[in-house]
């Protein structure tokens, strides 16, 4: 336990800013999860592994001498097709089935991806160095790497583009219609199979963007996927499906929480605190809902 | 009924004779017993109650740590033991080892049961995928947190007391085999007894429609918690034995290994057939044989195989072996079949 955070206000400011920039990235991943959850009613445990795979794409570009920031454009394109492939091979067989079946199936995909990435890229913690330098704030008391600011900016840009795409384009309208009522959409001539595939592809592409940004700002490792899945799940249940400002806000909140947990409890408890927070949130939600049920009685 | 009795006696004799017939596979057979215990107890709330938990690994790991800690802590200072190389300075005498193991196993069974009872009320109120993800989170959180606690070895692991020198080299394997076989028999007898009572029907009612069951006047929450506590009891025991068997406890790779053991128990139960008595046992046996074969011949690719296996089983084989048998030979399961109707249905397919 270390309460230095509260004795030196500048550390708190640092933690808050770090957390917000990190949280925007989480919100981007959570947006993808909310999308597929809302449309297909599937919880994808492999979400985090798609993120890490996107990160490796950027890392490889870095290894071959291309600036990793270009990964932000290349990763989603590749990941879109990876997502479609996963959908065609596995997900379309579990869409209509019991929820637990889909959780278990994506868990299997997650294990598969983890291990394949471990073979392909090795078990080292890597990062793609972007050479963006740092920004000093408040009399040099707060240090912000420019890569974090860059990644937050790009995430917001992608999120806005996607929202506009969902509102305006034909596919976006079809996706929203399927989310509201798949059967009715089918009757009205929407090819729901195609919509599902596209949704999963878009989700994977978003994961690819987030992963590329994470490989620039933080580090990636083949086994680091599950925490990202849990974070995005947590953000979605706090915000609710289809509530974009809520997703952004709870993403930032989670980021700030994590930074403070990191300072107070120590880095070794960081991931543990995320998972514990998930359990606490679910329990809180359960008691809130049960109280509502009692009102109805 | 008579056939069944012969079957049970046959299995019992096989179980007792197995370590002498296959002396090279003693450790594997003990692990198989532990796996069957885990799959069978997962089935109590996963298959019968419909609460698919990824978090039974919590009780398994808890039992593992508790058993080892008690076994060491009863005679030696625990903190010095878990310091690097500390386990070499202290040696358990045989009587100390067995006493510690006995007390440790009791603690390892009782404490997880209490934990399950305490957290049960808040967690079993969750439904469907919220429950599954919440328990997944619990298992991983326990692993991450125990990896940061110094007194039980933190990141560098915890060496359980080595088996004392009692004369014969084979005695370690035999001791652990019979211990795990005893727990297996205990589990089987208990579960079989449970499955003949009203309790099982209540669990099935909860699985089929919880709200309706509640409306019929069943206190669903009470039975859900009891079901989970039974699972936790045997998971803790299995964990305690496995700790001694493996000889080394690591927070995320051995104890709270959600990626391996936590999924295995779900997979075994599904492979054999959820919601049947024999399903998890058959599933665990088939899975263990498959796994050991794969682990030996395709070392390194085992997780890839595991991932593919999960996906294939879940997509193409969700009813499991028992479900398949049941469809094929319904008469054997005491179901009366209208042959005409069945043929019509087969033709429809």
Domains in chain B, number: 1
Alpha helices in chain A (DSSP H): 4-7, 9-40, 47-63, 71-86, 92-94, 99-121, 146-168, 170-180, 182-187, 192-217, 225-239, 244-265, 270-296
Cβ proximity of A279 and B138 under 8 Å: yes
Residue B327 lies in a domain: no
Q: What is the full DSSP assignment across B91-137?
A: ---HHHHHHHHHHHHHHHHHHHHHHHHHHHHHHTTS-HHHHHHHHHH
Residue B77 lies in a domain: yes
Residues 6+ apart with CB under 8 A from B57: B139, B142, B235, B256, B257, B258, B261, B262, B265
Residue B305 lies in a domain: no
pLDDT tens digits along B25-74 = 788 888 888 889 988 888 888 888 888 888 888 898 888 888 888 888 87
How many Cβ atoms from other residues are within 10 Å of residue B230's Cβ? Answer: 20
Q: What is the full DSSP assignment across A198-237?
A: HHHHHHHHHHHHHHHHHHHHS-B-GGGHHHHHHHHHHHHH
What is the pLDDT, as a whole number, of residue B73? 80
Residue B335 lies in a domain: no
C-alpha to C-alpha distance for B192 and B276, rounded to whole angstroms: 10
On the question of pLDDT at B149 being above 80, the answer is no
Classify domain A16-296 at the CATH class level: mainly alpha
* Helix, strand or coil, per DSSP, at residue A136: strand
Cβ proximity of A11 and A235 under 8 Å: no
Contact state of B315 with A94 under an 8 Å Cβ cutoff: yes
| A285 → chain B, closest CA residue | B126
Q: Rounded to two decimals, what is the model's pTM?
A: 0.84
* Helix, strand or coil, per DSSP, at residue B51: coil
Lowest-pLDDT choice from A126-135, A157-166, B237-246, B335-344? B335-344
Residues of B at the A interface, defined by Cβ within 8 angstroms: 52, 122-123, 125-126, 128-130, 132-134, 136-138, 140-141, 143-145, 147-148, 154-155, 259, 263, 266-267, 270, 300-301, 303-304, 306-311, 314-315, 318
Q: Name the minimum distance, in Å, from the CA of A11 to any CA of chain B.
A: 24
Residues 6+ apart with CB under 8 A from A151: A21, A24, A25, A213, A214, A216, A217
Q: Is B314 exposed, middle or buried (0-12, 13-18, 19+ CB in 10 A)?
A: buried
Cβ proximity of B100 and B71 under 8 Å: yes
For range B70-84, the mean pLDDT = 75
Residue B337 lies in a domain: no
Distance of alpha carbon A152 from the chain centroid: 13
On the question of pLDDT at B334 being above 70, the answer is no
> Exposed e or buried b for every residue in B68-92, given b needs 16+ CB within 10 A?
bbbbbbebbebeebbeeebbeeeeb
C-alpha to C-alpha distance for A185 and A243, rounded to whole angstroms: 22
> Exposed e or buried b for every residue in B330-339, given b needs 16+ CB within 10 A?
eeeeeeeeee
Contacts of A43 in chain B (CB under 8 A): 129, 133
What tokens appear for B74 in the block? 């009863």
Does ipTM top 0.90?
A: no
Residue B221 lies in a domain: yes
On the question of pLDDT at A105 being above 80, the answer is yes
Q: Specify the DSSP class assigned to residue B249.
A: E
What is the pLDDT, as a whole number, of residue B1? 53
pLDDT tens digits along B189-220 = 888 888 888 888 888 888 888 888 888 888 88
Q: Name the minimum distance, in Å, from the CA of A92 to any CA of chain B.
A: 10
Residue B7 lies in a domain: no
What is the pLDDT, as a whole number, of residue A4? 64
Contacts of B319 in chain A (CB under 8 A): none
What is the pLDDT, as a whole number, of residue A295? 62
Contacts of B132 in chain A (CB under 8 A): 99-100, 103
What is the pLDDT, as a whole number, of residue A1? 56
Split at pLDDT 50, 70, 90, the class of A41 is confident
* Helix, strand or coil, per DSSP, at residue A268: helix
Strand partners, A126: A220
Domain, as residue range, for B269? 26-300
* Helix, strand or coil, per DSSP, at residue A134: strand
Residue with tokens 């030696």: B76
Residue with tokens 């994470």: A214
Q: Name the minimum distance, in Å, from the CA of A53 to any CA of chain B.
A: 16
């Amino acid at each position: 336990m270390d309460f230095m955070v509260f004795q030196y206000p500048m550390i708190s400011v640092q933690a808050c800013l770090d957390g917000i920039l990190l949280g925007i990235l989480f919100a981007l991943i959570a947006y993808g999860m909310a999308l597929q959850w809302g449309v297909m009613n599937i919880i994808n445990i492999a979400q985090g592994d798609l993120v890490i795979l996107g990160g490796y794409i950027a890392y490889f570009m870095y290894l071959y001498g291309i600036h990793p920031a270009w990964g932000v454009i290349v990763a989603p394109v590749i990941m879109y097709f990876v997502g479609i492939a996963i959908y065609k091979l596995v997900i379309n067989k579990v869409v209509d089935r019991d929820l637990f079946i889909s959780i278990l199936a994506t868990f299997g995909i997650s294990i598969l991806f983890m291990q394949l990435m471990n073979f392909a890229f090795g078990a080292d913690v890597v990062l793609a160095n972007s050479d963006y330098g740092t920004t000093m704030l408040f009399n040099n008391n707060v240090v912000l790497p420019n890569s974090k600011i860059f990644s937050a900016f790009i995430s917001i840009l992608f999120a806005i583009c996607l929202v506009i795409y969902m509102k305006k384009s034909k596919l976006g309208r079809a996706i929203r219609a399927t989310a509201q009522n798949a059967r009715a959409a089918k009757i009205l001539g929407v090819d729901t199979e195609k919509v599902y595939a596209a949704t999963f592809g878009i989700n994977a592409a978003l994961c690819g963007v987030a992963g590329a940004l994470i490989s620039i700002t933080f580090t990636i490792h083949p086994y680091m996927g599950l925490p990202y899945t849990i974070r995005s799940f947590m953000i979605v249940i706090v915000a609710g499906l289809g509530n974009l400002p809520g997703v952004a806000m709870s993403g930032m909140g989670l980021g700030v929480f994590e930074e403070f947990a990191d300072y107070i409890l120590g880095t070794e408890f960081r991931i543990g605190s995320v998972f514990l927070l998930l359990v606490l949130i679910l329990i809180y939600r359960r008691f809130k809902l049960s109280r509502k049920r009692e009102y109805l009685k | 009924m008579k056939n069944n009795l012969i079957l049970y006696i046959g299995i019992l004799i096989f179980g007792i004779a197995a370590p002498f017939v296959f002396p090279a596979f003693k450790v594997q057979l003990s692990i198989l017993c532990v796996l069957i215990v885990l799959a069978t107890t997962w089935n109590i709330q996963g298959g019968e109650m419909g609460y698919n938990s990824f978090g039974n690994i919590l009780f398994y790991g808890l039992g593992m740590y508790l058993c080892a800690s008690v076994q060491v802590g009863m005679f030696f200072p625990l903190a010095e033991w878990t310091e690097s190389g500390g386990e070499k300075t202290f040696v358990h005498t045989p009587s100390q080892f067995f006493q510690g193991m006995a007390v440790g196993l009791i603690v390892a069974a009782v404490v997880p049961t209490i934990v399950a009872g305490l957290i049960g009320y808040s967690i079993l109120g969750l439904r469907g995928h919220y429950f599954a993800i919440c328990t997944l989170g619990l298992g991983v959180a326990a692993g991450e947190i125990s990896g940061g606690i110094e007194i039980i070895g933190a990141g560098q692991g915890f060496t359980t007391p080595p088996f004392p020198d009692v004369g014969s080299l084979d005695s370690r394997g035999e001791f652990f085999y019979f211990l795990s076989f005893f727990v297996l028999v205990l589990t089987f007898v208990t579960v079989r007894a449970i499955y003949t009572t009203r309790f099982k029907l209540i669990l099935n009612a909860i699985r089929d429609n919880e709200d309706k069951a509640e409306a019929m006047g069943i206190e669903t929450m009470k039975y859900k918690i009891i079901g989970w506590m039974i699972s936790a009891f045997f998971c803790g025991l299995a964990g305690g034995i496995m700790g001694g068997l493996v000889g080394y406890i690591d927070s995320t790779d051995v104890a709270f290994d959600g990626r391996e053991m936590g999924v295995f128990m779900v997979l075994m139960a599904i492979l054999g057939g959820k919601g049947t008595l024999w399903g998890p046992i058959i599933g665990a046996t088939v899975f263990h044989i498959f796994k050991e074969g794969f682990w030996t011949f395709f070392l390194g690719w085992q997780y890839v195989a595991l991932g593919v296996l999960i996906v294939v089983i879940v997509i193409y084989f969700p009813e499991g072996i028992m479900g398949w048998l049941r469809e094929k030979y319904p008469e054997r399961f005491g179901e009366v079949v209208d042959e005409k109707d069945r043929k019509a249905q087969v033709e429809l397919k």
